[in-house]
């Protein structure tokens, strides 16, 4: 069975600084990988996803993530964050053969300081 680990429960950064949110996964088969964002008191919104092809995936709001199969990682990055990026970020994985079942990580709280 697959699993997702987000090592950092909270990441504080200053506005306009770069940020990286770490995500590692475990699976014995090929996977799809996702990053979702949850703004306060809202539902989740897809930031980006890796299905196949280029390992560097670009998403909305200037975020990107790189799939590294050898390190089983899918870290999320943004070169310059804004106050509006304050939110909870969830990494998720799904086995390619699975029927719609996505496993979510425990989330990373990104807080932006002015």
Footprint of other proteins (CB under 8 A): 32, 41-46, 49, 51, 88, 90, 94-96, 98-102, 104, 106-107
Two tokens at 112?
Answer: 């932006």
Query: Is the Cβ of residue 41 or residue 54 nearer to other proteins in the bound state?
Result: 41
* Backbone φ/ψ region at 53: left (φ over 0), alpha (ψ -120 to 50), beta: left
Look at residues 14, 21, 58, 15 and name the one whose alpha carbon lies nearest to residue 38.
21
Return d(Cα 70, Cα 48) in angstroms, integer.
21
- Shortest distance (Å) from residue 78 CB to other proteins: 20
Query: Is the Cβ of residue 43 or residue 114 nearer to other proteins in the bound state?
Result: 43
- Shortest distance (Å) from residue 69 CB to other proteins: 17
């Amino acid at each position: 069975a697959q699993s997702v680990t987000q090592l950092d429960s909270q990441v504080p950064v200053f506005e306009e600084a770069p940020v990286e949110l770490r995500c590692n996964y475990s699976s014995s088969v090929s996977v799809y990988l996702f990053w979702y964002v949850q703004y306060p008191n809202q539902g989740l919104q897809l930031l980006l996803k890796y299905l196949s092809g280029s390992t560097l995936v670009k998403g909305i709001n200037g975020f990107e993530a790189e799939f590294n199969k050898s390190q089983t990682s899918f870290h999320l990055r943004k070169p310059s964050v804004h106050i509006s990026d304050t939110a909870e970020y969830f990494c998720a994985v799904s086995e390619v053969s699975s029927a719609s079942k996505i496993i979510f990580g425990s989330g990373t709280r990104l807080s932006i300081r002015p």
